[in-house]
Structure 1
Amino acid sequence: MEVKAWERFWEKSWTDVWVKEGYQHGKDPLFHILYNNSLRNRHRTALIYYGTVITWDELRDQIMRAAGGLQKLGVEKGDRVYLGMQNCPQFVISYFAAHMLGAIVMAISPAYKEGEVNFVLNNSESKVMIIEESVVPVVNQIRTNIPSVKHIIVTSLEEYLPEDPYPAFPADPNGKGIECPGAIAWKDLIANEPLKKMADVDVNDVALLQYTSGTTGHPKGAMLTHLNLLNGAFVQAVQPYNTVDSVLVAVLPLFHITSMNDHMLAWAFGGNTMVLLARFDPETWMQAVERYQGTYSIVATPVVIAISNHPSFGKYDITSLHNFGIGGATLPQAVFNKYKDLGITLFEGYGMSETTATTAFNPNDAVKLGSIGLPVPQVDLRIADINDLNRDVAIGEEGELWVKTPSSGIGYWNDPEGSKETFLGDGWVRTGDIVKMDEDGYLYICGRLKEMIKSSAYSVFPAEVEEYMYAHPAILECCVIGTPHKVKGEEVKAFVVLKADWKGKITEAELIEWAKSQMAPYKYPRHIEFRDSLPKGNTGKIMRKVLKEEEAAKSAQK
């Protein structure tokens, strides 16, 4: 079918903060821009890691030495290089060293287990692995099953720590003292002679395989080109009004597309300073923002909730944050107000692995709470009727979001069928997200197409129910799923974490009764389960999939 984009009427809502003329892409990939920034800003600070300061001069030297080391190991253009690390200087150095050779990066969570790592390595036929110590036990278990891997480089998160780290470093005993036979030490990799000549890379060459967790089956490797990374970096470097003096605080994992783009790629484009934190802890994050005068950070919504509820909230001065972005869940008004009282406006955005993260977000001087914001420059979209994909819905109606942008990937690695479902040709991507748009062009997430609950033939989107539930003052966190029902097909169930001062003061039945008054009969939760906490992934996002699996296991036992 021929896909026609909507008229970009939302451009009338762009504020003066945003660059409206878009970006003219040249022939230089992002790693060239990083290299040039390192020359211009050579004595300025590039990275801060728990107090260790790395200048742009020092960073360029280490990237080129790592690239020289990888070249010595036989890495060539098109080879896949697997990165399995939390946030640390080695991740950044490895990422751009691989690109200097024209290799394709795969950024994978170090929390992946044997089955996941085995699948991803064999699916991609990776040649080299660069991993932190905690991944060694996993690799040792599958060594005989990964024939494509020729070399493994092992590093420690503590290699770049100063004598007196600030904030305190979260030590991880996993993998310490465990040998990885035949592995190369990180210090030996960067002891090599620097790379003399960067690879001849076209911006349309594949730069990254970003494996998505997906809702079913094995992860899929979204193929993102150097042009995709360049455009994603431009959007997040320029639209939030970052400058060379900005200080980006990255605690969201860099292996996740949001942090990779919104922090690392934007930093490479802007030539500013990035503060790296290996793992999230509310007090550690606040200490880092205060000490290093962070101006910009992107986190998952549950993270800002956790920070605002921490006893030390208000103890540290975090008012330097003039750009504080969120996403992934509904933000309660009360939490928004807590930050507003400090002079910090939280702004929500939207993106996905297949579109190199950001395709929409709120201008921080024109935020609509509950909205994922306005489409950014150079984004075309349509909102399709889920019952008739040839029809566009009207303003205010719910439908599936389709987007076209220079950040849109080109397909899934070794998966033509999956590619056909999501990547429609001519740059169009089906997001699988159900949205609606208001008359000003602001978008609102209503749910995921695959997470939609069918109750008595009605379509119920979990995100909408959660938004209503968050209006109750007792609720700290909430996640909604569908549970099987013989007559209705599915019923709505909510998992709820109560605020400390509400525990023991309200029952599940009372909360259900309240919900009946807030939404239509087919939407309100018929079951509520109180939990002390909800399962969360590396980004802090609530893992709906885990709760659905738990419920499925319970049903199977009945």
Structure 2
Amino acid sequence: MTKMATEKLTKSYLHVPRKQPFSGMSVGQQLYKMAETYADKEMYVFYVDKERITFKQMKEQSQQFASSLIAKGYKKGDTIAIWGASHSEWLVTLFATMQVGIMLLPLRLQFPEPTVIALLKKHKCKGLILTRSPSIILKRVYQIFPELKDTSDNGFHCECFPDIEFIIISGTVSEQIPRRKCVYSYDEFMMLGSKADLDNVNKICMSLDMDEPCSVAFTSGSSGMPKATVMSSHALLNGVANIGFGREDESLLYDLGSSGMPKATVMSSHALLNGVANIGFGREDESLLYDLKSARFGDAFSFVAFSFGMYAPLALGLTSVVFPKFNAETMAKAIQDERVTMAVFHIHHVHDLLNVPNLRDYDFSSLDILTIGGSVIPFEMRQNVKKICKNVVLSFGMTETFETLISHPIDPVEKQNAAAMYPIGGVEAKNVDDCGCIVPVNTNGELHIRTFSAFQYYMGDEEKTREMKDNNGWIHTGDLGVMDEDGYIQICGRKKDLIIKQGTNLAPAELEKRLYQHPRVQVAVVIGLPDPRVGEEICACLRVDKVNAPTEEEIRQFCEGKVHEMLVPKYMLFVDDVPITPTGKFSRQKLTEMAIEKFQIG
């Protein structure tokens, strides 16, 4: 056992104290501090774009952009939207808005037009920024804003969106949309601010409080409209400071400097401000590696990318390698070329990475840590990951909470094999029954989390906020978990994903874990399909080896005797690609629709 467990638990509640001091800064103030501390160090590497930006350059560019917002009359509390992939202008805009208290609404490139329209209206956005995107985006933009085809020199005005006062366009799209008043290229808009506006930016930034709302990220939306999750600076900065192995119970057991990078000895009271808190296997009382590079995938809207890719450089002084979209071969090459030391992925990205052609030809010797997010992470996959990275970490978190549970390579072998995770410092965790009562240890229940890094509210949705966060500050995760007597927690799946067959609650995760053990199953998602006799029948949605695909009977035989007999699938839906929600998760809703159509149910 580790030093964490002082006595055996009898009920499923645990609080892990936090030793690390909190930051009391706003995001903008933190950026100013980091730009001073790490001026010429790379903050972001835009690998595909072949662009690099230092901490000092990010401060200067974002300040200038913020001054242009001030020059155009935008003020604290206003909301503007940004639509497109993760290029440098995305992050410059983000930090610009955070310096002056403007809320930036991040519209994912894959959001369909009806969703974009609904979100722009709901949140009364006063401006829209289009980042560099594929030229196909132009058609979608014209469908939403037909007024942009107007070549007159009139000011921009859209009947459907009366609140929008300007549009900023970058990349190839900016060359095709006629320019006129209030329709700017990114470079044009950047130059609107004066010296006086720039001074005003600094004054506003230094006046912002750590508890004011500063950040928006979309979550879920698989069963409806994506929810805009609002975070304070305090939650954001201190939540990101726990990224990696943010457990505070062990001394440094592994030298992250083994890759030859420099280390810095920093006193714990300065850990966050100097950007070296709780990264890797470090603890607050040890020498910590500060020159980490963290690879992140895709855009900035899932929990993993949102917290790690965007904000880890700001909170921790590391360098983030940014990609406009996930491509496994590009990621493998980037890890090699940029000497990435830490990578964070979702489970399906890990699978794609492991199946890159000639994977052994890539040099992954710099990669010290690979963190996998997701509730069902097969043991076999973790073992395969160790072929390219010896330290594999499991992570549980939400957009609403950041990271809250992690595994650790020094955990007891039986805990690692069971994919059990432990709360990070400052987090309370409990498992409850349907009445909200704490259940005994080793009993299934819904996982509730209370943490300093919790979100403030869902923008424009008080009812959903109350459903997710109760009056005592507990976040109702909707995940089913089991806490053992040592405080380790196994995630057993989503409560809403339970399949009810013949009156019995069945967790899809049990069957998914078994299916992932099949050598020719690449991705497995289990859903319930309506059945008039038993309520719901089991359907396994599978992406399999195309060259040597298993038969349905092989799959059933593989499952029989290894899972609950009611979980052996009646239906099997073989797909080339598993549909993904706008926030990067497997879309069970879409798979259900596909299966109902294929099997002509209902």
- Same fold, TM-score > 0.5, yes or no: yes
The residue that corresponds to 2:559 in the other structure is 515
Deviation at 1:554, TM superposition (A): 5.2
The residue that corresponds to 1:363 in the other structure is 408
The residue that corresponds to 1:551 in the other structure is 595
1:308 aligns with 2:336: no
Quick one: structure 1 residues 12 and 468, their matched pair in 2 at CA, closer, same or farther if it must change by over 3 Å? farther
Q: Secondary structure at the match of 1:68?
A: helix
The residue that corresponds to 1:378 in the other structure is 426
Q: Secondary structure at the match of 1:396?
A: coil
Deviation at 1:193, TM superposition (A): 4.1
1:312-323 matches, within 5 Å, as: 312-323=358-369
Report if aligned partners of 2:378, 2:516 keep a CA contact under 8 Å in 1: yes
The residue that corresponds to 1:171 in the other structure is none
| Displaced runs of 4 or more, over 6 A | none
Report the residue type matching 1:239 in the other structure. Answer: N
Report if aligned partners of 1:384, 1:401 keep a CA contact under 8 Å in 2: yes
The residue that corresponds to 1:138 in the other structure is 140
Quick one: structure 1 residues 252 and 23, their matched pair in 2 at CA, closer, same or farther if it must change by over 3 Å? farther
Deviation at 1:186, TM superposition (A): 0.8
The residue that corresponds to 2:473 in the other structure is 427
Q: Secondary structure at the match of 2:360?
A: coil
CA separation in 2, counterparts of 1:180 and 1:486? 59
The residue that corresponds to 1:531 in the other structure is 575
Quick one: structure 1 residues 379 and 77, their matched pair in 2 at CA, closer, same or farther if it must change by over 3 Å? same
Deviation per CA, 1:246-304, whole angstroms, max 9, x where unpaired? 11112232233321212221110112212111111111111111111111121111111
The residue that corresponds to 1:204 in the other structure is 211
Report if aligned partners of 2:101, 2:214 keep a CA contact under 8 Å in 1: yes
Deviation per CA, 1:207-234, whole angstroms, max 9, x where unpaired? 1232323343322222222222122221
Report the residue type matching 2:477 in the other structure. Answer: T
More relative contact order in 1 or in 2 (CA 8 Å, sep 6+)? 2
The residue that corresponds to 2:374 in the other structure is 328
CA separation in 2, counterparts of 1:329 and 1:491? 22
Q: Secondary structure at the match of 2:457?
A: coil
1:31 to 28, 32, 57: 28
The residue that corresponds to 2:183 in the other structure is 183
CA separation in 2, counterparts of 1:12 and 1:130? 54
1:48 aligns with 2:45: yes
CA separation in 2, counterparts of 1:459 and 1:80? 43
CA separation in 2, counterparts of 1:379 and 1:399? 18
Q: List alignment gaps of at least 5 residues for structure 2.
A: 9-15, 146-158, 245-276, 281-287
Deviation at 1:176, TM superposition (A): 7.1
Report the residue type matching 1:360 in the other structure. Answer: L
The residue that corresponds to 2:396 in the other structure is 350
The residue that corresponds to 2:539 in the other structure is 493
CA separation in 1, counterparts of 2:23 and 2:71? 30
The residue that corresponds to 2:79 in the other structure is 80
1:218 to 219, 225, 238: 225
CA separation in 2, counterparts of 1:400 and 1:436? 9
Deviation at 1:309, TM superposition (A): 1.1
The residue that corresponds to 1:167 in the other structure is none
Report the residue type matching 1:373 in the other structure. Answer: M
1:252 aligns with 2:298: yes
The residue that corresponds to 1:295 in the other structure is 341
Quick one: structure 1 residues 148 and 364, their matched pair in 2 at CA, closer, same or farther if it must change by over 3 Å? farther
Report if aligned partners of 2:302, 2:584 keep a CA contact under 8 Å in 1: no
The residue that corresponds to 1:403 in the other structure is 449
1:387-466 matches, within 5 Å, as: 388-389=435-436, 391-466=437-512
Report if aligned partners of 1:66, 1:94 keep a CA contact under 8 Å in 2: yes
Q: Secondary structure at the match of 2:45?
A: strand
CA separation in 2, counterparts of 1:204 and 1:270? 20
CA separation in 1, counterparts of 2:352 and 2:35? 36
Q: List alignment gaps of at least 5 residues for structure 1.
A: 1-7, 14-18, 159-173
Deviation per CA, 1:370-408, whole angstroms, max 9, x where unpaired? 52621111111211113x22x212222111111110111
Deviation at 1:537, TM superposition (A): 4.4
Q: Which moved more, 1:339-348 or 1:290-299?
A: 339-348
Q: Secondary structure at the match of 1:547?
A: helix
CA separation in 1, counterparts of 2:331 and 2:241? 26
Quick one: structure 1 residues 325 and 72, their matched pair in 2 at CA, closer, same or farther if it must change by over 3 Å? same
Report if aligned partners of 2:542, 2:573 keep a CA contact under 8 Å in 1: yes
CA separation in 2, counterparts of 1:176 and 1:523? 55
Deviation per CA, 1:131-170, whole angstroms, max 9, x where unpaired? 22544443432333222221111122x8xxxxxxxxxxxx
TM-score, normalised with respect to structure 1: 0.88
Aligned residues: 525
Q: Secondary structure at the match of 2:591?
A: helix
CA separation in 2, counterparts of 1:141 and 1:376? 46
Deviation at 1:358, TM superposition (A): 0.9
TM-score, normalised with respect to structure 2: 0.81
